[in-house]
């Protein structure tokens, strides 16, 4: 919710109150609950949320006798119903189902509101026509066995890796993925090019599972550094291609490259499963850590131009400016070469029409 401050003022002005806080600010869940309660029934209340917030909100409401599940207005995130022997569950990631004995039953459409009772489920408000599902779900956020819109996360990553391999000319000794999401992309790359996959990095899993979880950047950086352990036996004297889901600030990648050089790497080539991130996300809080200024692309543009300008040209892979920006990022990170995914190839790998996907991070497109 990018307009949470505005909504806080609105409620306080109308003599509303908040009982909880979230890192010193009002709790977004409480703001949503207040918006739901402004109306007389759940459907009208959820529609009120859709109308008043800027950003996106998928929610589940528990009542004594039913569950109400609502997917955000443009379906940027997901809500999926699972079924087991007449019981129902709802999850945002379908990887929650196999080990709890559920099968995927129904994908809610964008803005759809569904009521679930012990007898079954029924739509209270049908799905809207427009969809802008986050393409990053497949590239990075999603867990490999999950499906969104019936499309499996790891299969998309294999296709992303294969698309990069198709365009590549480097002949490395092996390919490796930066855990976790880089692994699927790297397997796809290696399978396509017939290059062996090796684990130059292993993830020390007893620490944090995903580095974007801690809210403070310093802690995220520390976690990211501690959890990846390079294996010198694989690295020394070797030319390698690494696959990663994306480059946000590039800090982690820069550290990784320094580790690899220290372990005796001969050549380090990075291949990125999505295009350069040029625009920050305004819609999902799991990526709110990205501030525009910190993006590796914006830093490179500033180095080249002295200011952030010509963003559209820099986002165009056929332009000279794009080539110079990628070279500058590679230089900043200390790697031998860098290649990003083509947006068209990414869309093809996901296999949904472009107009149904949010690709705002890369091309600035999309709407609230
Ligand atoms: S801007 Fe990027 S991260 Fe945000 S919803 Fe769109 S594709 Fe996903």
The pLDDT of residue 21 is 81
User: Distance between CA atoms of 110 and 74, rounded to whole angstroms?
Assistant: 5
Q: What is the DSSP string of 80-104?
A: EEEEETTEEEEESSGGGSGGGT-EE
- 240 has which bridge partners? 174, 268
* Cβ of residue 284 lying under 6 Å from some atom of ligand 1: yes
The pLDDT of residue 212 is 52
**Residue 227 pLDDT > 90, yes or no?**
no
The HSE-up count of residue 324 (CA atoms within 13 Å, CB side) is: 15
CA of 136 to the centre of ligand 1 (A): 6
Q: How confident is the model at residue 121 (pLDDT cuts 50, 70, 90)?
A: very high
* Cβ of residue 328 lying under 6 Å from some atom of ligand 1: no
In percent, the amount of the chain with pLDDT more than 70 equals 95
The pair of structure tokens assigned to 84 is: 């087991």
Pocket test for ligand 1, best of 56, 92, 135, 288 (most atoms within 8 A of CB): 135
Ligand 1 nearest-atom number relative to CA 362: 2
Torsion-angle region of 102 (φ positive above 0: left; ψ -120 to 50: alpha; else: beta) = beta
Average pLDDT (224-228) is 79
User: Distance between CA atoms of 284 and 321, rounded to whole angstroms?
Assistant: 29
Flag the least confident range among 68-82, 147-161, 185-199, 200-214.
200-214
User: Distance between CA atoms of 84 and 96, rounded to whole angstroms?
Assistant: 13
* Cβ of residue 136 lying under 6 Å from some atom of ligand 1: yes
Q: Cα-flanking dihedrals φ and ψ of residue 179, to 5°?
A: -60, 150
The pair of structure tokens assigned to 168 is: 């590549």
* Cβ of residue 71 lying under 6 Å from some atom of ligand 1: no
Which residue stretches of the chain are H helix? 4-13, 28-37, 42-52, 136, 153-167, 181-193, 217-227, 232-235, 251-262, 296-305, 311-314, 320-333, 343-350, 360-363
Strand pairing class (67-70; 59-62): antiparallel
CA of 170 to the centre of ligand 1 (A): 30
CA of 300 to the centre of ligand 1 (A): 21
C-alpha distances (whole Å) from 46 to each of 38, 41, 258, 306 are: 10, 9, 49, 46
Whose alpha carbon is nearest atom 2 of ligand 1? 361
Max intra-chain CA distance, the chain: 68
* Cβ of residue 287 lying under 6 Å from some atom of ligand 1: yes
The pLDDT of residue 292 is 76
* Cβ of residue 360 lying under 6 Å from some atom of ligand 1: yes
Whose alpha carbon is nearest atom 4 of ligand 1? 281
Report residue 228 CA to chain centroid gap.
20
* Cβ of residue 88 lying under 6 Å from some atom of ligand 1: no
CA of 79 to the centre of ligand 1 (A): 17
- Quick one: DSSP state of residue 252? H
For the chain, give the number of residues.
368
Average pLDDT (336-363) is 96
Question: Quick one: which of 134, 147, 110, 368 has its CA closest to 246?
Answer: 134
CA of 248 to the centre of ligand 1 (A): 13
- 25 has which bridge partners? 22
- 340 has which bridge partners? 272
Q: How confident is the model at residue 283 (pLDDT cuts 50, 70, 90)?
A: confident
Pocket test for ligand 1, best of 2, 360, 367 (most atoms within 8 A of CB): 360
Residue whose structure tokens are 């991070």: 361
C-alpha distances (whole Å) from 133 to each of 138, 147, 191, 296 are: 10, 13, 28, 24
- What pLDDT digit, counting tens, does each position of 18-58 carry? 998 877 889 999 999 999 999 999 999 999 999 999 999 99
CA of 325 to the centre of ligand 1 (A): 22
C-alpha distances (whole Å) from 169 to each of 166, 182, 338, 340 are: 9, 20, 12, 14
Q: How confident is the model at residue 285 (pLDDT cuts 50, 70, 90)?
A: low
* Cβ of residue 358 lying under 6 Å from some atom of ligand 1: yes
**Residue 96 pLDDT > 90, yes or no?**
yes
User: Distance between CA atoms of 252 and 229, rounded to whole angstroms?
Assistant: 13
Q: Which domains does the chain have, with CATH numbers?
A: 4-134 (3.60.20.10), 151-363 (3.40.50.2020)
Whose alpha carbon is nearest atom 8 of ligand 1? 134
* Cβ of residue 246 lying under 6 Å from some atom of ligand 1: no
The pLDDT of residue 90 is 96
* Cβ of residue 57 lying under 6 Å from some atom of ligand 1: no
- What pLDDT digit, counting tens, does each position of 179-223 carry? 989 999 999 999 999 999 999 998 887 756 554 566 677 777 777
* Cβ of residue 343 lying under 6 Å from some atom of ligand 1: no
Say if residues 284 and 56 touch (Cβ distance below 8 Å).
yes
291-305 burial, b at 16+ Cβ within 10 Å, e below that, comes to: eeeebbbbbbbeebe
């Amino acid at each position: 919710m990018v307009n949470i401050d505005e909504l806080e003022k609105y409620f306080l002005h109308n003599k509303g109150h908040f009982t909880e806080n979230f890192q010193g600010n009002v709790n977004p869940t409480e703001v949503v609950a207040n918006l739901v309660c402004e109306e007389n029934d759940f459907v009208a209340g959820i529609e009120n949320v859709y109308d008043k917030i800027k950003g996106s909100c998928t929610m589940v409401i528990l009542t004594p006798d039913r569950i109400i599940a609502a997917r955000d207005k443009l379906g940027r995130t997901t809500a999926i119903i699972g079924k087991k022997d007449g019981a129902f569950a709802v999850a945002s990631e379908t990887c929650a189902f196999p080990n709890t004995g559920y099968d995927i039953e129904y994908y809610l459409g964008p803005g759809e509101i569904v009521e679930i009772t012990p007898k079954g489920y029924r739509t209270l408000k049908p799905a809207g026509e427009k969809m802008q599902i986050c393409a990053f779900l497949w590239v990075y956020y999603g867990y490999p066995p999950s499906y969104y819109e019936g499309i499996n996360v790891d299969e998309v990553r294999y296709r992303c890796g294969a698309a990069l391999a198709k365009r590549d000319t480097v002949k490395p000794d092996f390919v490796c993925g930066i855990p976790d999401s880089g692994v699927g992309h790297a397997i796809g790359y290696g399978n396509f090019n017939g290059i062996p996959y090796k684990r130059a990095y292993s993830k020390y899993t007893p620490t944090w599972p995903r580095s974007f979880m801690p809210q403070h950047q310093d802690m995220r950086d520390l976690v990211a550094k501690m959890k990846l352990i390079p294996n010198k036996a694989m690295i020394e004297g070797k030319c390698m291609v690494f696959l990663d889901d994306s480059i946000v600030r590039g800090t982690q990648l820069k550290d990784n490259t320094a580790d690899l050089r220290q372990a005796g790497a001969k050549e380090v080539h990075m291949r990125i499963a999505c295009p350069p991130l040029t625009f920050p996300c305004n819609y999902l809080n799991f990526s709110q850590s990205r501030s525009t200024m910190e993006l590796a692309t914006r830093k490179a543009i500033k180095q080249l131009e002295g200011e952030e300008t010509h963003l559209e040209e820099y986002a165009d892979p056929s332009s000279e400016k794009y080539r110079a920006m990628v070279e500058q990022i590679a230089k900043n990170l200390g790697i031998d070469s860098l290649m990003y995914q083509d947006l068209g190839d990414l869309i093809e790998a996901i296999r949904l029409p472009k107009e149904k996907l949010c690709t705002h991070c890369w091309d600035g497109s999309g709407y609230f």
